[in-house]
Structure 1
Amino acid sequence: MNLAFYKRIEESTAHRLNREFIRDYVLQNPEKLQYLIEIALHEKDKIHIKACWSLELIFEIKLELILPFLDDFLAKIGQFKDDSAIRPISKICMFLSKSKTIKLSENQETKIIETCLDWLIQDKKVATKAYSMITLYNFGKKQPWINEELKTILSQDYFKHSAAYQAAAKDILRKLK
C-alpha cells in the first residue's frame, strides 16, 4: 500500500474540491487507481467511503478505467452497508448502464440489476434509489422484464416515500409508459 496516497485520501473530506483533488491526482497518476479501488472495496477500512466518493468522480470522466477492476467491483457492490458508500457505488452502476463503449457480460449486467433491485426495495437513501431506478430503466431497454418489475415497485412504493423519491419515480414511470 502506498502510505502517502492513503494519507491523502484519509485527510480528504466530502467537499467537492477535496474529491476532485483526489480524482485529478489519480487521473494524472493512473497507477494509483488500483490502490484507490482496493481501499474502496475494503469495507472494513475506515476510509473506504472517501475512496468511493473519488471513484465516482474518476469514472464519471473516464469510465473505461474501471475495466481491469470491473469483476472485483461487481463482486463487492451488494456487500456495502454504509449509505455514504452505496450512493457513489450506485452512481457508478448508473454510468455502466448508460455506457455506449463498455459492453457488460450477461453475468455483469445481472449482478448490477439484482443489486439495484435490492437497493430499490431496501431502506436506502433517495439518491441511491434514484440512481438504481435510472440504471434499471437503462437495462430495461434491452430486457423488457425489468420495466414491468420497475413499474410495479415504483407504483407500490410511490406514496411511502419523500417528495424527492416521488419526483424521481414519476420521471421513470413517465418514461415507461
Structure 2
Amino acid sequence: MTKDQLYNELNYVNHSREKRLHYANYIIENPDLLPELLEILFMVNDNISCRAAWVLEFVCGENLEMLLPYLDVFTENIHKVHLDPAVRPIAKICEHVAKAYYSKEQNTLKQTLKAKHKERIIETCFDYMINDEKIAPKAYSMNTLYLFGKDVEWIHPELALILERDFQMQSSGFKARAKHILKKIKK
C-alpha cells in the first residue's frame, strides 16, 4: 500500500473503537506502513492527520515497540500537532512512552528512549499544560510529566506551580487529576 492509498483508507476511520482498532491492527500486520502513517500524521494542517493520530494511538496501545525505530521522527514533530482531535492521541502516546519507561517490567523502550526524546516529550507536555487545550491532553500530560519528574528534578516544582495556578479555572476532571498528581508530588 502506498502513502496515497493509506491516506485514502484513513477516510474510513471514525471515532469508533472498532474502526480505530481495525486500522491499528492493519498497521501492526504491515509494519512497513508505519513511516507512511507518521508522514500523514505530521501533515498537521490536514484533518486526515487526526485520523492517523487515532490509529497510531491504538498501534502504540497494542504494540508500543513498533514506534521505537521512529522515536526521532515522532519526538521531532509532536510539537507541530495542533488540531484538537490529534493533540489528545499524541498526549496519550507520550503517556504510553513514559509509563513503559518507568514500568517495573523490562522492555526495549528503556534502552531506546534517549535524553533528547524525553526532552521533546517533556517540552510538548508542558506546552499542552500551559496552552488552551482540552482536559484529556492535559490529564495525559500531567501524568507523563509526573513520571519524567522522577528523574528530572525541576519538573515536579514546575508542574505543581502550573497545577496550582490553573486549579480554580479548570474543570472538575482537571481538578481531580491535579489533586491526585499534586498529592504524589508532595510525598
2:49 corresponds to 1:48? yes
Q: Which piece of structure 1 moves more, 163-172 or 3-12?
A: 3-12
Q: How do 1:150-161 and structure 2 match up within 5 A?
A: 150-161=159-170
Percent sequence identity over matched residues?
Answer: 40
Give the match for residue 104 of structure 2.
Answer: none
| 2-structure distance, mates of 1:26, 1:117 | 30
Give the superposition deviation at 1:167.
0.8
2:158 corresponds to 1:141? no
Give the match for residue 127 of structure 1.
Answer: 136
2:122 corresponds to 1:113? yes
Gaps of 5+ in 1: none
Q: Secondary structure at the match of 1:9?
A: helix
| 2-structure distance, mates of 1:44, 1:159 | 33
Gaps of 5+ in 2: 102-106
Give the match for residue 170 of structure 1.
Answer: 179
Give the match for residue 75 of structure 1.
Answer: 76
Q: How do 1:24-63 and structure 2 match up within 5 A?
A: 24-63=25-64
- Aligned CA RMSD, in angstroms, stands at 1.3
Give the superposition deviation at 1:74.
0.9
Q: Which piece of structure 1 moves more, 125-134 or 111-120?
A: 111-120
Give aligned pairs, total: 177
User: TM-score if structure 1 supplies the norm length?
Assistant: 0.95
